Structure 1
């Protein structure tokens, strides 16, 4: 009885760069030697078993957006600098793919959040793996964001913006605005204000089963919503609802890789810089 060939889709900006061709050739060669198929930037992913994201974390987010609710496991090869999501180094390509082909790896399920505008999905991709941020458009005035959790009033944020972050995104824009690091699979979301105009407003962590409703007022009568960095203009009076999506993003992880060691290595977590 024959076994179906596994299909690996290779996607990312690095596929178009000359200096990355050697890595792509190495991937294609290894997969073919193991009876698998490499698909370079395919239009459709429905017949794909694994997605290989080549680039940095921004490329990984785009790959996750393309995978969407198909829940295809993603292997992130880090061709950039930080590589928190894309954590496989170019030197580890053969080792990692060999482990995947022998089914010797782990899958991490990462929460996705979605945005509804007046009860309907936004025109662009409404799903975010990292965060959804509501931001002012002009440089002069703050915005007012009345925030409700499961119908209960939380607070009226007077701020430059508000970040709703998943645990995956907690080490991104959320962290740079003073939000906490949240361990993956903790079942939490974080609400972090951007430059709040009050000293007694701090980030708050809530259950990821919560519905977050935002009513935004702005002197310019419009504002921006950034969904994993994809910006969309919204008109004042549009009620935003943010909730957990009905699917997860599956990330391939090496069995010996641990989250806290990644914090130490990538963010210099706990490093003593005193001389």
Structure 2
């Protein structure tokens, strides 16, 4: 199998350890190993000179798997390589919580051989597709997000107003620090920290979550993922920030932002004994109540 390996752009001891274990397993299983160019440059000379390891700067459909080493943020960067190529992604967690990167370092030697044999299941994750009017070149080529699209204030402590339309029907104007449109995958991220709900990955919904709203009645809103969301920003400054997962662009207030469900999905690899509810209990410590 042709396997791509992607890692975070700064090397931690835990990431180095995980990569060395992974490399050993991949070599033992005779995988064709391709490591992202910048990530390989951070490795020691012995690894860099190993003739069994090649590099990639872009992916194509010939790859059978992408393995991400880091946290959920590393996976969010990895999807910009995968895009709509239909390549399954495995997340090895050397970060913190890890809702997406669920394979722990001590499980690599068991999990990776299973996955290479095809003993896994796929969780299809929907994405958000973004367009702006006028077109903004900063997001034109990576105009999608797995977690969320967030509009927020820039260079000011004052609120902004986010005028919101759903399928061309006016909803409301949020007076807030910003507004988050989250996928089910992103519901355990930024949206959750702003009071948004947790959404199961296979639910056909998105969540609108205001950031520190001054509208006292403003609450997170669940909408069908078939909804087209149109947003316009006003405020004391002439610009605002738009983030697509970890990528940020500065846009003028004259911009209209249109967001809808992307026409492709990201395939996350899950072990056969792994479930979303089990991940929730572990990561959010829902099972730690003494009464349980």
- Following superposition, the deviation at residue 17 of structure 1 comes to 5.0
- Following superposition, the deviation at residue 240 of structure 1 comes to 0.4
Match of 2:277 among 260, 266, 274: 260
Aligned to 1:44: 58
Aligned to 1:3: none
Aligned to 1:95: 110
Q: Which structure 2 segments of 5+ residues have no match?
A: 37-55
Match of 1:82 among 83, 86, 97: 97
Aligned to 1:35: 30
The change in CA–CA distance for 1:97 and 1:207 in structure 2 (over 3 A counts) is same
* 1:197-241 superposed Cα distances (whole Å, 9 cap, x missing partner): 111110100011110001111111111101103211110111000
Of stretches 192-201 and 114-123 in structure 1, the one that deviates more from structure 2 is: 114-123
How many residues align structurally?
269
Taking the aligned partners of 2:198 and 2:13, their CA distance within structure 1 comes to: 37
What's the C-alpha RMSD, in Å, of the aligned pairs? 1.8
Aligned to 2:153: 136
* 1:65-110 superposed Cα distances (whole Å, 9 cap, x missing partner): 2211112100000011211111100111121111112211000000
The change in CA–CA distance for 1:259 and 1:238 in structure 2 (over 3 A counts) is same
- Following superposition, the deviation at residue 63 of structure 1 comes to 0.7
The change in CA–CA distance for 1:122 and 1:196 in structure 2 (over 3 A counts) is farther
The 5-angstrom pairing of residues 191-210 of structure 1 reads 191-210=208-227
Match of 1:60 among 75, 83, 101: 75
The change in CA–CA distance for 1:18 and 1:173 in structure 2 (over 3 A counts) is closer
The 5-angstrom pairing of residues 109-128 of structure 1 reads 109-118=124-133, 120=135, 122-124=137-139, 125-128=142-145
Taking the aligned partners of 1:21 and 1:140, their CA distance within structure 2 comes to: 40
Taking the aligned partners of 1:206 and 1:105, their CA distance within structure 2 comes to: 31
Q: Is the 8 A contact 1:14 1:20 kept in 2?
A: no
- Following superposition, the deviation at residue 270 of structure 1 comes to 5.7
Taking the aligned partners of 1:22 and 1:137, their CA distance within structure 2 comes to: 39
* 1:139-158 superposed Cα distances (whole Å, 9 cap, x missing partner): 33111111111111111111
Match of 2:206 among 182, 185, 189: 189
Q: Which structure 1 segments of 5+ residues have no match?
A: 1-5
TM-score, structure 1 normalization = 0.92
**Residue 66 of structure 1: SS of its match in structure 2?**
helix
**Residue 200 of structure 1: SS of its match in structure 2?**
coil
- Following superposition, the deviation at residue 187 of structure 1 comes to 0.6
Aligned to 1:224: 241
Q: Is the 8 A contact 2:19 2:69 kept in 1?
A: no
The change in CA–CA distance for 1:257 and 1:14 in structure 2 (over 3 A counts) is farther
TM-score, structure 2 normalization = 0.87
- Following superposition, the deviation at residue 160 of structure 1 comes to 0.8
The change in CA–CA distance for 1:93 and 1:234 in structure 2 (over 3 A counts) is same
**Residue 22 of structure 2: SS of its match in structure 1?**
helix
The change in CA–CA distance for 1:161 and 1:273 in structure 2 (over 3 A counts) is farther
